[in-house]
Amino acid sequence: MSQASTLGQVPRRTAPDVSYDVERVRAEFPILSESIHGKPLVYLDNAATAHKPRAVLDALAAFYTRDNSNVHRGVHLLSERATRDYENARLTAQRFIHARNAHEIIFVRGTTEAINLVAQSFCRPRLAPGDEIILSWMEHHSNIVPWQLVCEQTGAKIRVVPIDDRGELALDEYENLLGPKTRMVSLVHVSNSLGTINPARRIVELAHAHGVPVMFDGAQAAPHQAIDVQDLNCDFYAFSGHKVYGPTGIGVLYGRLELLESMPPYQGGGDMIHSVTFEKTTYNTVPHKFEAGTPNIAGAIGLAAALDFVERLGLEAIASYEHGLLLEGTRLLSRVPGLRLIGTARDKAAILSFTLEGIHPHDIGTILDQEGIAVRTGHHCCQPVMDRYGVPATARASLGVYNTRTELEALAQGLEAVRAVFG
């Protein structure tokens, strides 16, 4: 098979946005001036975590130096400021994903906690032996293990939608899996290991035709494309702050208000209560019912700054620019002998997962690091994907708002250096 047919053709969705000033964007990220092993940093590991712009760093510093206090119930000025900024962050998140109501936004530690919350609070009380939950072959472990746990607890079972050689969801087989025993569909919106962008609206339409609720893992979608949960008509949606240029330890769970109100608390503690006696506790209203204890106040404020930053750049401009990088990266990698791209979906985010014949991905990553190039190597918390393609691991270059064509050229040159080391 030729390199071109192995790599596949990535279609152009939109023309590059000539107004996108990547050097101006890069100037907002202090860490990009770092040197690694005496070489300029080329950071191509954004799917694992993205760097933070100055606006986020300033927002974190401002909270801790001027407004640090606990939120809610406090009557002193610092608490009032902290509460204002924390709840304004909820409004920012609501706007970012176009939720109907700010009460539909739950702050969590990240996508992983969001999925666990839905599995335990929404699904567990509704599941019986023999009920089914639909996942896909391209899921991250955080969208597999929580469902395995709830199945062990209830006797439900998981059904898995296959993917084809390109890494695209087999929609016909997905539709066939939907049936009277299906209680939940939970799928990734954009695959972290393949880059595949799933047809989210169609997934929801098919599930809702059977009365089945749908959750999306949006961790890899939120940094790269506009999200409108009302347009998708999904029931739950989750994303993580640190992948969308915000702090670690903060994320968002969106849920339809009527569903959230029907769900029992996921954790108990302070702030999620209305009143407590030793005989009985009554719970707070949504969203506070699901935010037990002191929340990650600074994280929420930093996340809001990150979402504002991304919105200022423009999600359409980001998608257009990154798609241009994907096209260029695909072209450059296609010239590297022995390289196999894993994931060639027709609708794809700017993720390039690959193997080099005869060279372990960990060795690829180690040698590239000596050139100042940061890529991710391993199974990317997607071992079923690796099994599907018959590889133990891949090397992955994942692109973001600050990456450049020059950096992609450095990656291609670095891969030639890797090949030279191994003869």
Residues with catalytic function: 381
User: Measuring CA to CA, which residue among 246, 250, 251 is closest to residue 217?
Assistant: 251
User: Measuring CA to CA, which residue among 301, 251, 294, 230 is closest to residue 115?
Assistant: 251
Helix (H) or strand (E) holding 72, with range, is none
Counting every residue written for the chain, the total comes to: 423
Q: Are strands 339-341 and 273-276 parallel, antiparallel or unpaired?
A: unpaired
Q: Which two tokens stand for residue 198?
A: 């799933």
First to last CA, the chain: 22
- Give dist(CA 143, CA 388) in Å, integer: 17
C-alpha distances out from residue 292 to 281, 360, 365, Å: 14, 44, 40
- What is the full DSSP assignment across 215-258? EEE-TTTTTTS---HHHHT-SEEEEEGGGGTS-TT-EEEEE-HH
